[in-house]
Structure 1
Amino acid sequence: MILILFLSAVLGGVSSKFFGHHTQSIRYPLIFAGSFLFSVTIIHILPEVFSLSEDPLEVGLYILFGFFFQQLLEYFTSGIEHGHTHAHDEITGTSKFGLLIALVIHSFLEGALLTHDSPFHERHESYSLLVGIVLHKMPAAFALVTTLRTSKGFDGRLWGILLIFSISSPVGFLMSDQVLNLSPEVLLLLFAFVSGSFLHISTTIFVESSPNHHFGLKKFLISLFGAFTAIATEYFL
């Protein structure tokens, strides 16, 4: 699981060398990933947090907090975590630091999610959630590298930044599982908090993929395919 988390980010970042700045090439894969992540949140994460909680109202609050916390993070990341590139924007050292910290926080929390106990799966067997995180991390790494490659002064530090981003989810997994020993109650609230973040990311992908809010049959079919894939992963893996 740690290796998969690490390699998904590395491969996503390295792939930017082959696709260049043509972000349209990842538009439909991004829609698929957004649909998959949204579906996993609805059929996996939310049922778990509400079924395990003794206080559903508290869980709802943490989901809401996570949603707006993600919006706050995007002040620093400008949406890179959901594949939004900024190939022509200039990134300064200060904004680079804020961007990296925000992405690391988000990825750390994602890794921590995978240590939860589930009433529906054995421990460490949340495959649908793992796949959702992987599908989300790859375009995020692609957008990060694409953005930094077009900014001055990052040539020698680009791959170091990608490395830090790539290890943040594995570190979050290991810290939560082996070091912090978080109580089930705290893990449950963390789970709810990050589910709010996932809702923000996945719904934003849908909005950005249709800037004029026009119905697109191809987008709709890809979204359905992402949802059905999430259902199959949840129930059959």
Structure 2
Amino acid sequence: MIKSAIILFLSAMLGGLLAINSVDAVKRNIKILLVFAGSFLFSITVIHILPEIFEAGDNHLHIGLFILLGFFFQQVLEYFTDGVEHGHMHHHHHGEKHSSLKSLSLIVALSIHGLLEGTLLAHPESVHGNHTEGTLLAGIIFHKVPAALALISVLSCQYQSRKTQLFLLTIFAMASPLGLFAGHFMEDIGWMDHASMTFLFAFVSGNFLHISTTIFIESSPEHSWSTKKLLISLLGAGLAVLSEFLF
């Protein structure tokens, strides 16, 4: 658990630090990383998370409802994040008060999302086998790095201070590790039983479905054919399948 928490934290920090001094380079290349991340995340959700959640739970209707709730809850969160969690880089220049409020809502919403995805790594053996943690961790990392890149690109337009950017980035980076610890804690003290954890994971899988499908849709806004995008998508999906045998 400690190792996974450290990896989650460092992946977000690394993505943000890479963007601090190279925002222009990030803008040029983030779509490639996003397509790969979206394909990997979508693939592990479809071939890994969803089947094993349905296998672990007895009430499939309730599981499906929680997946839908998670899907639409992520849409609500995006009202506050402007889609930063799937790579949007909106550069709005407003007054200081408006920017502070916008940044606060952005960080709070991203932290809620981070907490939820962190819980997916909590006691994976209660819903599926121990082998799943490596695959899920990889999927979250591939998603978190471009999210951190996009976050810094937004914050750099709102705050000139590097200290402020790093402070807000650190809050974002801590969210998923805290979610991981919270998931373990809630199960250890009996706040959440097997059924509750299954519904929680179904809810988070709905978040993943929304993020990954949105990445695909927005990577080709004009629905134009792109061989490069297809190859990158197949690479992401292939690695997701391969990870089932490696972890």
Name the residue aligned to 2:177.
170
Post-superposition shift, 1:118? 5.4
| Residues 1:53 and 2:81 are matched in the alignment | no
RMSD: 1.7
Deviation by residue 1:127-174 (Cα, 9 ceiling, x = unmatched): 111100000000111111110011146544211111111111111111
Post-superposition shift, 1:19? 2.6
Deviates more, 1:139-148 or 1:89-98: 89-98
Deviates more, 1:175-184 or 1:218-227: 175-184
2:67 partner amino acid: I
Please point out which of 203, 212, 226 is paired with 2:222. 212
Please point out which of 168, 186, 196 is paired with 2:196. 186
| Residues 1:27 and 2:31 are matched in the alignment | yes
Post-superposition shift, 1:25? 1.2
Contact 1:148/1:154 (CA < 8 Å) preserved in 2? no
Name the residue aligned to 1:235.
245
Paired-residue identity, %: 47
Contact 1:19/1:25 (CA < 8 Å) preserved in 2? no
**TM-score, normalised via structure 2 length:** 0.90
| Distance change >3 Å, CA 180–CA 54, structure 1 → 2 | closer
Name the residue aligned to 1:110.
117
2:133 partner amino acid: S
* Cα distance between partner residues in 2 of 1:83 and 1:170: 21
In the TM superposition, 1:72-221 aligns within 5 A as 72-90=76-94, 92-115=99-122, 116-117=124-125, 120-122=128-130, 125-152=132-159, 155-179=162-186, 181=188, 182-221=192-231
| Distance change >3 Å, CA 202–CA 89, structure 1 → 2 | farther
2:209 partner amino acid: L
Post-superposition shift, 1:26? 1.6
* Runs of 4 or more consecutive aligned structure 1 residues displaced over 2 Å after TM superposition: 87-91, 116-121, 152-156, 178-182
Structure 2 spans left out of the alignment, 5+ residues: none
* Cα distance between partner residues in 1 of 2:115 and 2:14: 18
Deviation by residue 1:190-218 (Cα, 9 ceiling, x = unmatched): 10001011000001111111010111111
2:210 partner amino acid: H
Deviates more, 1:152-161 or 1:139-148: 152-161
Aligned residues: 236
* Cα distance between partner residues in 1 of 2:22 and 2:36: 18
Name the residue aligned to 2:13.
10
Post-superposition shift, 1:180? 5.4
Post-superposition shift, 1:121? 2.4
